[in-house]
């Protein structure tokens, strides 16, 4: 089943609004630093904040992710954090049909007709294929720790 049959981003930007959730792993930080031609320390100081012991991308004054631009979208699209690459295939949505149902209401990119069974089996495969599964609960996003 092609990914487009399950999810196709409409670039509405809703998932880039709101504080929290964009946890960045050490690998994400290295990738962002290379993309922005900065040191990891500078990326952390300029674009990140600590939340519950983990590092996350911070928001701008407009309430959107600091990398989000109203007309251009994600300013680090090619190198965006794993959680942004993985959405909507987060653990909650893979494990819980009601969570997927809420995600469908929130994100217009998820095919409203896809069954939870198809979504979950495709999503697990997608995360593995794209090397997006996390293994370190102390430094990586819980949403990407899947079986």
65 contacts ligand SF4 (rule: CB under 6 A):
yes
68 contacts ligand SF4 (rule: CB under 6 A):
yes
In Å, the largest CA–CA distance within the chain is 44
Choosing from 6, 31, 47, 81, the residue that interacts with ligand SF4 (CB under 6 A) is 81
Least separation, in Å, of the C-beta of 109 and ligand SF4?
A: 3
Contact region with ligand SF4 (CB under 6 A), list: 45-53, 93-101, 104-112, 128-136: 104-112
Please name which of 134, 124, 140, 129 lies closest in space to residue 89, comparing C-alpha atoms: 124
84 contacts ligand SF4 (rule: CB under 6 A):
yes
Q: Which residues pair with 82 in a beta bridge?
A: none
| 68 neighbors 13 (Cβ within 8 angstroms) | yes
Choosing from 6, 15, 23, 59, the residue that interacts with ligand SF4 (CB under 6 A) is 15
76 contacts ligand SF4 (rule: CB under 6 A):
yes
Choosing from 33, 49, 108, 126, the residue that interacts with ligand SF4 (CB under 6 A) is 108
Choosing from 11, 42, 128, 130, the residue that interacts with ligand SF4 (CB under 6 A) is 11
Q: Which residues bind ligand SF4 (CB under 6 A)?
A: 9-16, 22, 57, 65, 67-68, 74, 76, 80-81, 84, 87, 107-109
């Amino acid at each position: 089943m092609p990914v487009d049959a399950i999810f196709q981003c409409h670039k509405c930007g809703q998932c880039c609004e709101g504080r929290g959730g964009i946890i960045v792993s050490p690998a994400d930080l290295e990738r962002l630093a290379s993309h922005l031609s900065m040191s990891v320390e500078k990326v952390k100081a300029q674009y990140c904040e600590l939340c519950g012991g983990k590092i996350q991308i911070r928001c701008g004054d407009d309430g959107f992710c600091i990398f989000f631009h109203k007309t251009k979208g994600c300013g680090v699209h090619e190198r965006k954090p794993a959680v942004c690459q993985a959405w909507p295939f987060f653990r909650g949505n893979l494990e819980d049909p009601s969570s997927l149902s809420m995600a469908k209401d929130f994100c217009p990119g998820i095919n409203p007709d896809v069954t939870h069974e198809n979504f979950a089996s495709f999503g697990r495969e997608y995360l593995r294929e794209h090397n997006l599964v996390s293994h370190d609960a102390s430094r990586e996003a819980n949403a990407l720790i899947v079986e």
